Amino acid sequence: MALRIDPDTRLLVLTGAGVSAESGVPTFRDANGLWENHSIEQVATPQGFEDDPALVWRFYSERRRKAASVSPNPGHATLAGVEARMDDRFLLVTQNIDGLHQRAGSRRVIEIHGSLFRTRCDTCDREPFADEREHVAAPACDACAAAGRKGRLRPAVVWFGELIDPEILREIGGFLSEAHRQRLVFLAVGTSGAVYPAAGLVLEARAAGGETWLVNAEPAENRGAFHHFVQGPSGRILPELFEWA
């Protein structure tokens, strides 16, 4: 089955953990929702950070180390190549925080769940900053300390129960609504379709008249919302998926 791209096509791609699986980054589902016997909720929620910030930093420090040691795979490379051909008719929304799309050459990338390589304060509104260090405990925020507050640094990622930056959602909505006189295609890759609002993007694309494709190792929870499903590993499927008209 081929996904045809012609000069009139706009393509919105959503990726999840599965796209990085062949690079050696474990998915959330692979780990059965567990990390060192802790549930994902314990390490990826504001309450988890409140309860045990050191545990949460160990989890993200390990992932920083792992992500820095792996390389993009042919799935990432294919999406970077598609962007190079489509330019502003292409937008990639990734739920991944591992930076592998950017390392493969993708530039039109929205990191909807943040980045593993940025840190922010849990209290003040200082800008998130680049940070590759591995922390074993939550460092104090120096900006807060200077103002007599007790802010702690945390990974600049979006945990369960936290809001996605509304500006990001507006940008995605803008890309969908600009497609009114063009052919809109939505492609989801390597995602279980279980976590919202990302899992709802397919319905937004359909409401905008889009044709919807899913490439995944298994049927995603929202598989029924897709017109086309190609089952298999994205590192093998994506390089063969596109047909250029």
Q: Which residue's CB is nearer to ligand BJW, number 22 or number 131?
A: 22
Q: Which residue's CB is nearer to ligand BJW, number 56 or number 144?
A: 56
Query: Would residue 180 show up in a list of annotated catalytic residues for this protein?
Result: no
The residue whose two tokens read 């499903």 is 229
Task: Give me the least distance between CB of 223 and ligand BJW, in Å please.
Answer: 10
Alpha helices (H) in the chain, listed in sequence order: 18-21, 40-43, 46-51, 53-69, 74-86, 100-104, 142-146, 166-177, 201-207, 234-241
Residues 196 and 184: their CA atoms lie apart, in Å, by 21
Task: Give me the least distance between CB of 181 and ligand BJW, in Å please.
Answer: 31
Count other C-beta atoms under 10 Å from residue 163's C-beta.
Answer: 8
Q: Which residue's CB is nearer to ligand BJW, number 9 or number 216?
A: 216
Residues 224 and 219: their CA atoms lie apart, in Å, by 9
**Site residues (CB under 6 A) for ligand BJW?**
16-18, 21-22, 27-29, 44, 95, 97, 113, 157-163, 190-192, 194-197, 216-218, 220, 233-234
Strands (E), 67-210: 90-94, 109-111, 114-121, 129-130, 153-157, 183-189
Task: Give me the least distance between CB of 25 and ligand BJW, in Å please.
Answer: 10
Q: Which residue's CB is nearer to ligand BJW, number 32 or number 136?
A: 32
Given the residues 76, 113, 180, 228, select the one marked as catalytic.
113
Sequence-distant (≥ 6) Cβ neighbours of residue 24 within 8 angstroms: 66, 70
Task: Give me the least distance between CB of 76 and ligand BJW, in Å please.
Answer: 12
Residue numbers annotated as active site: 113
